Structure 1
């Protein structure tokens, strides 16, 4: 409605003045033609001649003598004129823009009026010309007004329909956000729309699904941490109570104390891994870069873990190229220790572990392959999640809390690298790490 009213006012403002001038120009031209026609018709009487032309071709005439008396039948021009305007025309001026506003309260239509002076036998006369009301024009204006009303009605109806079409999915989104604010992430907005609202609904559904996964991971993380802490605490509590017994052999006492010591070490490792994982997950984590020999670092890790792999009589096949890398040495050292520790844990007695490192252009590839239990393909997407364990029923004597690979993945991500797992279950696993030779800050 506001746009229609604005359009009407602006269009009237732009074109009313131009139309007024065009009508006045046409009236002056028609008046001059009428005067010229009379002057060239020598036998015509003035008043009958002018009376016969009044009302023809849409022009309405009124003639005034030198005394200001109207000579033709009284019409609306007589109601619009005042003596000052008549005097100006009789004195020889052409009068335009005649102000008729003071007559509007008398229900006199507002029409352009012009006054033209001329003389007959030396006597001054004033000819006033205006446009006669045309019923066809009234019908056209009524049609235009009706068109405005129809446009307003149907336009408003279509706007209401379009608004509901747009607002309804937004209301659904609002309700869905309220549910998510209460912790309910199982929200799905079905839509067939292909516009921006449809894309927003699809994105919202995807966000809700990801938040649901994150919430489930959070719950699993808390559950796993609680389990990992509760298990050694139960052992420590139980064996501490057993040590209070007076009739306890020295051998049993040493055995119980050893178990308590192992469980304390287990808690310590869990605490250290959780702190390290939390530290690595902080934003803008700085890398302490240095330039060093990667092949030498790998050899030192193999030597450091010699007690573990010699205890199982594992054969180490080490094939390393001379590689210089610019990276965080301490963090990458943790990566190789964790990966090699895992391989040693799940490689059978008298098994084989192969470590290879090479360089291609500006990329470094390090692979660690064992012939242990392997990792099922459906598990490979989750092995880097905290506390995830592939073999839930594996030997409980194998130490670990499921955080090592999470730490490895985070460190490699910070170095803008990649880690992949391959190998079939029962035949072993291969962890392949790809790193740029120069790590940017």
Structure 2
């Protein structure tokens, strides 16, 4: 049996581990039993002290309630306070009876004897006299009664009760500190015992590992060389234990690995290529899926917008033309109806133009023709055109530029200015001011369009220039719109190499800012020559 034990590393190691586990369990059991005994003793002492503290607190609260309720009765002549004093006196009597079995020191017994005497004196003599004085309104006698030593006795007893309670709390803290000290000593002893067991076990394990360390190191070195792709010469161990079996198996494994390595490498390269192709196809599929979802969303929004925005002007045109066909109207009404039809036709034309611009943007056929342009002149034209229908609004144009010209597409810029100024009119109250301010720095011309309208919620600003985006609230829903105007403006300004931004104070105003690049000096001279 001993020979078999020596030939098995596993049995030797298992014996050491079981011995260590046994010693640790014995130590842990002893420490647990001692700790449980210490804890149980501490709990019993703590319970007794807590009961005593609760009794003292009950005595203290009953005593104070008795005295203070009586004082309240004397001060306010409130019968409820007097009844409270009698109730508290009965509670005090019960509290003293409950504490008597718990009193262990002569000081505690003396204190509660004094409390019992004071209660009898207070309730049998002081309270009846004070009650009679209160009913007679004899405040001088009440003062003399309280000055005769009652107040001093009350203050003395309150101080003694508080001192007793503080002493009990200190005793509880002392018991806790003693318990912690005993627990600490037990923990130190347990730690020393565990360290001793670990040292003994480590010595036994070290002796065992000496017998297996060198062969394992040789096998490890051979495995590292084999992993690096080198030829390996392994000395097969002539042992009958697990290391001998491991050595023999390792020799055969090394041969098998080298034979399979090339085959695995080829398969791995093929799998990597297939994985990369699958990932590429998956990414392409995901991209196409997202595009289809976006196109479906845009299609739904387009259909909804077209059906909603075209219905109103078409209904107006059909309604007024039907009136003109079926009824005989005066010249003034005909003119009024024709004007309305003309305005709705213009509105339809603008809607169609917006959709055409959207189509050009989507197809990449959105082209601008640049020439030398003064934005102020374009803005003046737009204000003049808009003011014909915006009779109740005021317009202000402020020009603080030092550079008047830039390269731009006049028609497209007019489209942008018309959209921004028309929006300012639509979303401003009657009598509101639409202010356009032009300035420039060394590289850019800045155009600000400010209104006194509804303002834009902060959460909506990041989405304001997206296609078909409209702010959905009751105030704006009545105004309507396709949600394309600002998206087209952004496309036009970016085609000019510029930027469009918005800042807004909700419920007060909005400011749309356009930043357009100024031409370089050589480019400006060339344009001036062409213009001349």
- TM-score of the superposition, structure 2-length normalised? 0.43
For residue 390 of structure 1, report the CA deviation from its aligned partner.
Answer: 1.9
The alignment status of 1:153 with 2:260, answered yes or no, reads: yes
For residue 338 of structure 1, report the CA deviation from its aligned partner.
Answer: 1.5
2:482 aligned partner = 401
User: Distance in 2 between the 1:158 and 1:333 partners?
Assistant: 67
The alignment status of 1:332 with 2:413, answered yes or no, reads: yes
User: Distance in 2 between the 1:360 and 1:146 partners?
Assistant: 78
1:312 aligned partner = 392
User: Distance in 1 between the 2:454 and 2:306 partners?
Assistant: 26
- Please identify, of 424-433 and 395-404, the stretch whose mean Cα deviation from structure 2 is larger: 395-404
Of 390, 399, 420, the residue aligned with 2:501 is 420
User: Distance in 1 between the 2:481 and 2:423 partners?
Assistant: 9
The alignment status of 1:294 with 2:378, answered yes or no, reads: no
Higher helix share: 2
For residue 430 of structure 1, report the CA deviation from its aligned partner.
Answer: 0.7
Structure 2 matches for 1:30-179, cutoff 5 A?
A: 150-157=257-264, 160=267, 163-164=270-271, 167-168=274-275, 170-171=277-278, 174=281
1:216 aligned partner = 297
The alignment status of 1:267 with 2:383, answered yes or no, reads: no
2:418 aligned counterpart, secondary structure: helix
For residue 291 of structure 1, report the CA deviation from its aligned partner.
Answer: 1.9
For residue 328 of structure 1, report the CA deviation from its aligned partner.
Answer: 1.9
* Contact 1:321–1:357, Cα closer than 8 Å, also in 2: yes
1:355 aligned partner = 436
For residue 293 of structure 1, report the CA deviation from its aligned partner.
Answer: 2.8
1:361 aligned counterpart, secondary structure: coil
User: Distance in 2 between the 1:256 and 1:307 partners?
Assistant: 18
Higher strand share: 1
* Contact 1:320–1:355, Cα closer than 8 Å, also in 2: no
* Contact 1:293–1:322, Cα closer than 8 Å, also in 2: no
Structure 2 matches for 1:178-327, cutoff 5 A?
A: 180=285, 187=286, 208-209=289-290, 212-234=293-315, 236=317, 262-279=343-360, 283=364, 285-309=366-390, 311-316=391-396, 318-323=398-403, 324-327=405-408
User: Distance in 2 between the 1:350 and 1:304 partners?
Assistant: 18
User: Distance in 2 between the 1:256 and 1:389 partners?
Assistant: 31
> Where does structure 2 lack aligned partners over 5 or more consecutive residues?
1-250, 524-532
For residue 280 of structure 1, report the CA deviation from its aligned partner.
Answer: 5.3
1:268 aligned counterpart, secondary structure: helix
CA shift in 2, pair 1:321/1:171, >3 Å: closer
For residue 224 of structure 1, report the CA deviation from its aligned partner.
Answer: 1.7
- The count of corresponding residues between Structure 1 and Structure 2 is 271
1:378 aligned partner = 459
User: Distance in 2 between the 1:283 and 1:372 partners?
Assistant: 35
* Contact 1:339–1:368, Cα closer than 8 Å, also in 2: yes
2:178 aligned partner = none
User: Distance in 1 between the 2:475 and 2:324 partners?
Assistant: 30
> Where does structure 1 lack aligned partners over 5 or more consecutive residues?
1-143, 181-186, 188-203
* Contact 1:221–1:386, Cα closer than 8 Å, also in 2: no
CA shift in 2, pair 1:214/1:380, >3 Å: farther
User: Distance in 2 between the 1:253 and 1:304 partners?
Assistant: 23
1:114 aligned partner = none
For residue 379 of structure 1, report the CA deviation from its aligned partner.
Answer: 1.7
2:180 aligned partner = none
CA shift in 2, pair 1:356/1:394, >3 Å: same
* Contact 2:440–2:446, Cα closer than 8 Å, also in 1: yes
User: Distance in 2 between the 1:279 and 1:175 partners?
Assistant: 31
Alignment RMSD:
4.0
2:471 aligned partner = 390
User: Distance in 2 between the 1:332 and 1:255 partners?
Assistant: 32
2:438 aligned counterpart, secondary structure: strand
1:366 aligned counterpart, secondary structure: strand
CA shift in 2, pair 1:242/1:433, >3 Å: same
For residue 304 of structure 1, report the CA deviation from its aligned partner.
Answer: 3.4
- TM-score of the superposition, structure 1-length normalised? 0.50
For residue 261 of structure 1, report the CA deviation from its aligned partner.
Answer: 5.1
For residue 415 of structure 1, report the CA deviation from its aligned partner.
Answer: 0.3
CA shift in 2, pair 1:421/1:243, >3 Å: same
* Contact 2:394–2:432, Cα closer than 8 Å, also in 1: yes
1:70 aligned partner = none
* Contact 2:305–2:482, Cα closer than 8 Å, also in 1: no
User: Distance in 2 between the 1:417 and 1:326 partners?
Assistant: 11
For residue 427 of structure 1, report the CA deviation from its aligned partner.
Answer: 1.4
CA shift in 2, pair 1:381/1:432, >3 Å: same
2:513 aligned counterpart, secondary structure: strand
User: Distance in 1 between the 2:372 and 2:320 partners?
Assistant: 49
CA shift in 2, pair 1:341/1:249, >3 Å: closer
CA shift in 2, pair 1:329/1:172, >3 Å: closer
* Contact 1:292–1:325, Cα closer than 8 Å, also in 2: yes
1:423 aligned counterpart, secondary structure: strand
